[in-house]
Every structure is written in structure tokens, then in C-alpha cells.
Amino acid sequence: MLLTLLCTGWLRHYALRKGVLDHPNARSSHDVPTPRGGGLAVVGVVLASLPGLMLQEVLSWPVLVTTLGAGGLVALVGWLDDHGDVATRWRLLAHFVAAAWALYWLGGLPPLPFFVGPVDFGWIGQVLALLYLVWLLNLYNFMDGIDGIAGVEAVTVCLGGLLLYVLAAGWVSEVHGPLLLGASVLGFLVWNFPKARIFLGDVGSGFIGLMLGLFSIQAAWVAPELFWGWIILIGAFVVDANVTLFRRVWRGEKFYEAHRSHAYQYAARRFGSHVPVTLAVGAINLFWLLPLAVLVAMGLLEGIVGVFIAYGVLIVLCYRFKAGARELQEV
């Protein structure tokens, strides 16, 4: 946390000196040019820490190779995009390569509990897992649109994931990944909490999104029900992004165009501040999603049922705050 805190400060000076700034436009939620690319501090601290964890025998070789390869590639493309403009096709190609690399080294998606018992989805499951990772790292970038929201999401989800491990499997080696990422993001959050002095940039948002997806698949290998627990924990971002995308595509709008029609963006404009919305996301994670995820992890609630309950309420909230509505519909 402290190392990321210091590195983010240095990156802020670098971005200001090199002109790596996010300038406000009609699609922005900020009103002054702000340095971006601070997520490189999170990426650097996490990746640099992994060999030490392996030497302490709390991290396996496949996980090390997975994170360095997939996480490093996604971060590299994001960093280049922060400094210029990487074509969408090349960016997506890199994302698919990174996701495929990760699935190969992690052993793919294991059988998952589905009502009557574990179900092996075979090659279809592996394709869905590939799409899941690519979509998650991209939607995390879409959801990183107001100060502090991506950092609060990552910290609370990682804390929740740690609790799930402790309750369902005890203190296993897999807990070190969420602990490391959560602590690193917390150091960055000091700089990014409203009013933000630096943004994550694509280098950070894509990396964090990918890592959360990888944690969920790793968890499935530890205890299959934990996968559904992680899916519940990341629900705030998943539901807002998907409801917004669905409504925009339904109207025939280009899904890849920049916009400000996510529920959290409408909420920030309604309340006139980023702070209550960012804090609300953290509260939803801790007081709504985490208890449901705990019930699933402890075997007291069927995983897929827990997902439907958690996401059902979130969908209602998204529609309440106009997720995906035309941007002129502010009320």
C-alpha cells in the first residue's frame, strides 16, 4: 500500500511533465485536465511482488506465469493506449491473447455447482470463460468514470473475497492475490478519492478487471461454490455495465462510442458529487453483496440463486438511476 502510494505520486509528476492528461469533454465526468496512467503503480507493485510470494511458497508457478503474462500484456496495451491511441482491434486481440494465456495456465474453468451438482460445461465453458475475462477487463474500464469508484470497488471486492476464502476454505495460498491487489489499490485510492488528483487510466482499470476475473476462476478450483461468491461480489460493476450496454444496443446505438449513461454517472450528476455515489458502491458491496456471497460460500444458499437475488436488486437500482437511458433523460 505504501509503495503504491509513493509510486502514484511519482507517476502524477511524470504525467504532468509529459502531458499525459485526461482532458474534459462532453463525455467526461470531470471538469479539469487530470493526469492519467496512475494505475501503472498498482500494476508494477503487484507484478514485482509476485516472485517474492513464490519464493515464500505461497504462490504457485502457474499463477505466477498467468499473472505476469496476462496481466503484463493487458497493462502494456493499456499504457500505450493512455499515451496514444491503440486501435480497438489490436487492443481486443491482446485482451483475448491474455485471457487465453491465463486460462491455459490456470487449467481452464472447472466444473461448477449448478442446482443438482457440479456441471462440466466442457469446451463451451472454456469459451464462455474466455469471453468473461475479456468482457470483465473492458467493463471495468467503462465503469471507471468517476473519482474513486474503481478503487473502492476493487478494495471492497478483494476484502470480500478474502472473507469467503477464510469461511469456506481457511487460510489458503490463494488469499494472497486479493490481499496484494487490495492493498496496492488502497495506496492508489489515496490519490484518486474525490477529488481525484490522478486517474487509473487503461493501464490500471484493465489490469484490475482481469485480476478480479482470474481470482474468481482460481477460487473455483479451491471450492467450486466460491466462483458464484465472486460473481456476486463483482455484481455492482457487472450489472451497471450490462444493463447500460443492453439498453444502448436495443436502441440501435453504437455500443463502443463514449457516453455518460451508466447508472453511476446519472447518480453522480443527480447528487452533484462523486463522493456519495462512490461510497454507495462500497456500501452495496459490503452490506448487500458480501452477505449473500458469504451465504453461498458457506453452503447455505445455492450459488446461482444467490446471483439472481443479488443481481435482481441491482438491476432495479440501475433502472431507477436510468442506466442506459438517453443522456438527455436526466430525471
The number of angstroms, rounded, from the C-alpha of 319 to the middle of its chain's C-alpha atoms is 22
The answer to whether position 305 is within a domain reads: no
Cβ–Cβ < 8 Å for 195, 270: no
Strands (E), the chain: 21-22, 34-35, 112-114, 117-119
Give the SS3 label for residue 82. Answer: helix
The answer to whether position 271 is within a domain reads: no
Please give the grid coordinates belonging to residue 260. Answer: 455518460
**Going by C-beta distance under 8 Å and a sequence separation of 6 or more, which residues neighbour residue 184?**
1, 3, 4, 41, 42, 45, 46
Please give the grid coordinates belonging to residue 168. Answer: 469456506
Cβ–Cβ < 8 Å for 101, 66: yes
The pLDDT value given to residue 26: 60
Residues 161-192 pLDDT 10s: 999 999 888 878 889 999 999 999 999 999 99
**Going by C-beta distance under 8 Å and a sequence separation of 6 or more, which residues neighbour residue 267?**
276, 277, 280, 321
Region 189-209: mean pLDDT is 95
The answer to whether position 156 is within a domain reads: yes
- Residue 322: is the preceding peptide bond cis (ω within 30°)? no
Greatest mean pLDDT range, 18-27, 119-128, 228-237, 244-253: 228-237
Region 70-85: mean pLDDT is 93
Give the position of cell 486460462. 103
The pLDDT value given to residue 117: 77
The answer to whether position 331 is within a domain reads: no
CA dist 19 and 36 (Å) reads 9
The pLDDT value given to residue 328: 60
**Going by C-beta distance under 8 Å and a sequence separation of 6 or more, which residues neighbour residue 133?**
98, 99, 102, 103, 210, 213, 214, 217
pLDDT exceeds cutoff 80 at 29: no
Cβ–Cβ < 8 Å for 295, 301: yes
Region 25-41: mean pLDDT is 82
Using alpha carbons, list the distances in angstroms from residue 13 to 34, 75, 185: 11, 20, 19
Please give the grid coordinates belonging to residue 285. Answer: 458491496
Q: Is the pTM of this model over 0.85?
A: yes
pLDDT exceeds cutoff 70 at 280: yes
The pLDDT value given to residue 331: 43
Backbone angles phi, psi at 118, to 5 degrees: -60, 135
pLDDT category at 51 given cuts 50, 70, 90 is very high
Containing structural domain, residue 53: 2-229
Ranking 20-29, 39-48, 76-85 by mean pLDDT, the lowest is: 20-29
CA dist 200 and 177 (Å) reads 19
The answer to whether position 133 is within a domain reads: yes
CA dist 306 and 303 (Å) reads 5
The number of angstroms, rounded, from the C-alpha of 162 to the middle of its chain's C-alpha atoms is 16
Give the SS3 label for residue 131. Answer: helix
What is the domain count for the chain? 1
The answer to whether position 256 is within a domain reads: no
Q: Three-class SS string for 87-103? A: CHHHHHHHHHHHHHHHH
The answer to whether position 154 is within a domain reads: yes
Q: What's the CA angle centered on 75, arms 38 and 183, to 5 degrees?
A: 55
Ranking 6-20, 123-137, 143-157, 253-267 by mean pLDDT, the lowest is: 253-267
CA dist 325 and 318 (Å) reads 10
The answer to whether position 77 is within a domain reads: yes
pLDDT exceeds cutoff 90 at 119: no
Cβ–Cβ < 8 Å for 313, 284: no
